[in-house]
């Protein structure tokens, strides 16, 4: 029983990290309708920046994370200005292919800049200490992921619901032309969505790196984890992304605990299986809006 409870608790914490990365996808999807396939590379970029700041410069870990999020946000701004803005009005497929191209370009740049040497963070972001419940122990790394996952969900939900910029982003996501006619600067909104989405990716990447090490595989593994979570959550819901992340995280850790010995690599396959089942039986996800087009 202790093994089961341990797997569930670890899965909840890891799932919150999945949720943060998926929230970054949701931010961009809600505002621009672009499915950002380069999100994994933005995660890896943030993880490597934080590692260099902490290990190379000697910054405190929390400041390294803030720096990584800021630099990732700037990178998101550059992506919007140079790549996505010229493609405004193009088909979703064209924009999707552009993000796939960005994925390869960013991967090459990261490899040239930091190489393939793995990095291990010196400390936790939030020094909480391990959570001990009898024979069950949840590491501070996992606790960091859960705390920041919930905080990100609450923060983004409140931002979208009550702030002037968030309301403008919601309006733009519904109808860009109508939003522009009311005086909303659509280009500014889209720019902000890429900055926020990249910042979420960086935070998620740092937390992913804290689970093991920061390596050249982090971007691919992270992307394969967060896309199923976003689809499961409903594409445009922060709460859905968090809850879906928790569910996928628990299922993944259970598979790793009980099946990894017999089926090596099953942990990386489970999120994709979940996504496939969701697309078959509930294609709009947990909190997705069912859209009916009349012909």
Total structural domains within the chain:
1
Distance CA 248, CA 275 (A): 9
More confident: 46 or 178:
46
Number of residues that this document lists for the chain: 295
295 occurs within a structural domain: no
How high is the pLDDT of residue 232? 86
Q: What is the pLDDT of residues 221-259, one digit of tens each?
A: 888 889 888 888 887 788 889 998 998 889 888 888 787
How high is the pLDDT of residue 264? 79
102 occurs within a structural domain: yes
Name every residue whose Cβ is closer than 8 Å to that of residue 285 and which is 6 or more positions away in sequence.
231, 232, 233, 234, 235, 237, 240, 244, 278
Average pLDDT over every residue of 185-214: 89
Report whether pLDDT(293) > 60.
Answer: no
Report whether pLDDT(295) > 70.
Answer: no
pLDDT band at 68 (very low <50, low <70, confident <90, very high): very high
Distance CA 143, CA 126 (A): 9
CA contacts within 13 A on the Cβ side of 36:
34
Report whether pLDDT(291) > 70.
Answer: no
Q: Is 77 exposed, middle or buried (0-12, 13-18, 19+ CB in 10 A)?
A: middle
Task: Give one DSSP letter per residue of 200-246, joined into a string.
Answer: HHHHHHHHHHHHS-B-TTHHHHHHHHHHHHHHHHTSS-HHHHHHHHH
Report whether pLDDT(79) > 90.
Answer: yes
Report whether pLDDT(32) > 90.
Answer: no
What would the two tokens of residue 222 be? 């992270």
130 occurs within a structural domain: yes
287 occurs within a structural domain: no
Distance CA 11, CA 281 (A): 23
Q: Strand, helix or coil at 97?
A: helix
Pick the range with the lowest mean pLDDT from 114-123, 151-160, 191-200: 114-123
Determine contact, residues 274/28, Cβ cutoff 8 Å.
no
More confident: 58 or 204:
204
289 occurs within a structural domain: no
How high is the pLDDT of residue 266? 78
Nearest alpha-carbon partner for 20 in 72, 58, 55, 64: 72
Average pLDDT over every residue of 213-218: 85
133 occurs within a structural domain: yes
Distance CA 160, CA 170 (A): 7
The CATH number assigned to the domain holding 239 equals 1.10.3470
288 occurs within a structural domain: no
Q: What is the extent of the structural domain holding 47? A: 2-281
How high is the pLDDT of residue 225? 87
286 occurs within a structural domain: no
pLDDT band at 170 (very low <50, low <70, confident <90, very high): confident
Distance CA 24, CA 6 (A): 28
**Rounded mean pLDDT of the chain?**
85
């Amino acid at each position: 029983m202790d093994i089961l409870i341990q797997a569930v608790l670890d899965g909840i914490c890891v799932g919150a990290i999945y949720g943060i990365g998926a929230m970054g996808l949701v931010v961009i999807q809600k505002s621009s309708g672009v499915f950002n396939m380069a999100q994994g590379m933005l995660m890896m970029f943030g993880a490597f920046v934080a590692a260099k700041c902490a290990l190379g410069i000697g910054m405190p870990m929390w400041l390294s994370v803030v720096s990584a999020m800021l630099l990732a946000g700037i990178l998101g701004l550059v992506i919007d200005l140079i790549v996505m803005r010229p493609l405004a009005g193009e088909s979703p497929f064209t924009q999707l292919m552009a993000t796939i191209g960005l994925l390869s370009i960013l991967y090459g740049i990261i490899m040239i800049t930091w190489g393939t040497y793995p990095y291990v963070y010196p400390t936790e972001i939030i020094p909480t200490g391990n959570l001990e419940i009898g024979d069950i122990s949840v590491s501070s790394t996992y606790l960091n992921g859960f705390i920041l996952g919930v905080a990100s969900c609450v923060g983004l939900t409140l931002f979208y619901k009550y702030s002037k910029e968030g309301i403008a982003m919601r309006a733009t996501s519904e109808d860009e032309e109508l939003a522009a006619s009311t005086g909303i600067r659509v280009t500014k909104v889209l720019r902000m969505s890429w900055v926020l989405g990249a910042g979420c990716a960086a935070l998620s990447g740092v937390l992913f790196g804290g689970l093991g090490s920061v390596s050249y595989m982090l971007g691919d593994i992270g992307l394969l984890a967060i896309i199923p979570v976003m689809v499961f959550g409903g594409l445009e819901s922060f709460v859905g992304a968090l809850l879906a992340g928790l569910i996928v995280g628990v299922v993944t850790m259970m598979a790793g605990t009980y099946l990894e010995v017999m089926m090596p690599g099953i942990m990386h396959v489970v999120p994709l299986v979940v996504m496939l089942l969701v697309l078959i039986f509930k294609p709009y996800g947990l909190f997705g809006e069912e859209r009916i087009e009349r012909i």
